[in-house]
Amino acid sequence: MSSASMVGISFLILGVILLLGKWIRVISPPLQKLFIPSSLIGGFLALFLGSEVLGKIATLTGYYGTFLSGGLFPQEMIDIWSSLPGIFINLIFATLFLGKKIPSLKNIWLLAGPQIAHGQTIAWGQYVFGILVTILILTPFFGIDPTAGALIEISFEGGHGTAAGMAATYEEFGFTDASDLALGLATIGILFGVILGILLLNYGIRTNKTAVLNKSSDIFLNENYQTGIIDFDSRESAGKITTRPESIEPLSLHFGYVGIAVGIGYIILHLLIIAEDLLWGQSTGIYLFSHIPLFPMAMIGGIILQFLLERFDRYHTLDRNLMMRIQGLSLDILITSAIATLSLAVIGSNLVPFLILATVGIVWNLVAFLFLGPKMIPSYWFERGIGNFGQSMGMTASGLLLMRIADPANTSPAMEGFGYKQLLFEPIVGGGIFTAASVPLIFYFGPLPMLALAIIVMIFWSSIGIFYFGRK
């Protein structure tokens, strides 16, 4: 079979796996109550049926050399899947702001300031405690590379997309195990983010910390909400058709816009690489931009394209909802393929450092939500803080999910503030410029200067949250 045919079949099989993940959730009440994403379920299903689990079970039980010893999927298909996260992360970040009107910085700050300060504090705290535990425990006792100090922020705040996107950067610096550790941590983050989020919501309702939900709320008993199936009479259009399909399919048009955004990001990145080489690279031997992946620049490309469309596209051909469908599809493909190609052997050989990093990340995120949230967010702290908690545990979708549960009718400023927060959050951390540069910075300058920088920035944002917003 030609490689081109295998690419097509690989995508079709991935689609079937996603569908199976959805129906497993529909028939599984425990998975429904935990609101586990179908892409995660499908990814674990593919992992189990592949060479890492089924293949090893077949080999251990005497079926070595049979078709089962390599799992149900050929190695060429696994290789194709393993390359998808690094591709689709660019599409996800390119769509973050496409179709979203960019407000003024003043309006963003007034509405989303408390969530920005709280979110930034969590992100920079992940660097602080990640680097600390690496310096004090992981490097001296387990010989783990010092760049592991960035893994908590990359995996928890950045999620599977950022973890996959940073794989090539880690490989360039010789820490090849980091990719699987990051994806494993991102998986732990999503699972514990949703599980702990639901527990925190129940705790908040029982202790009257929630301003919207109360003990009589039935959101946890809503069967359609738990299964993820929208009631037939409540279904809405996935997006507005902005062009006649006989001229160009609207989804194709939007896919083209995504391609332009990624292309702008590619040009920006390569101009920065050229400038770096000319200005200081040749004289110092320090290259940062050449190790930064494409996805944060694709996000900047999306912002630039959005500004251009707002000014020159008098037909308003870009629809935000259609762009979100492209983003959602890309995220599902990314998560499923990333989990399906996870190396359990790498995680197993670094199990203790892996568990230490996971524990430190989870504990810090809980502390930041329960103790810093009320002090930094003056109103609706639970509804607004739970979104930051969900995002800090794995992905933006987790934060949105928890906020929708905490505030189903969108009566608080949580959702709008969270959306505005992304404009001053995503470009920096959680997969932004600094996330991409963190590994090269630790490699070239060492973990201690990076730790000092992270402490300063964390104190700066926490002070704004506690002493400025918290007193309002």
Please give the torsion angle defined by the CA atoms of residues 139, 142, 147 and 151, in that order, rounded to the nearest 10 degrees: -120
Domain ranges of the chain: 86-230+299-469
Provide the token pair at 315.
Answer: 């037909």
* Distance in angstroms (rounded) separating the CA atoms of residues 396 and 389: 10
pTM: 0.79
* Distance in angstroms (rounded) separating the CA atoms of residues 258 and 88: 11
Q: Among candidates 153, 176, 173, 149, which has minimal Cα distance to 163?
A: 153
* Distance in angstroms (rounded) separating the CA atoms of residues 45 and 385: 32
Using alpha carbons only, give the angle 293, 14, 347 rounded to the nearest 5 degrees. Answer: 60
Positions in the chain whose pLDDT score sits under 70: 1-2, 65-67, 215-228, 395, 397, 409
Residue 311: Cβ within 10 Å count: 8
Listed in sequence order, the DSSP H helices in 368-407 are 373-376, 381-392, 396-406
Q: What is the end-to-end Cα distance of the chain in Å, rounded? A: 66
Under DSSP, the state recorded for 322 is H
Question: What's the pLDDT at 52?
Answer: 83
- Encode pLDDT of 76-101 as tens digits: 999 999 889 888 889 988 998 899 88
Percent with pLDDT over 90 in the chain: 45
* Distance in angstroms (rounded) separating the CA atoms of residues 180 and 184: 6
Under DSSP, the state recorded for 412 is S
Provide the token pair at 291.
Answer: 């190790």
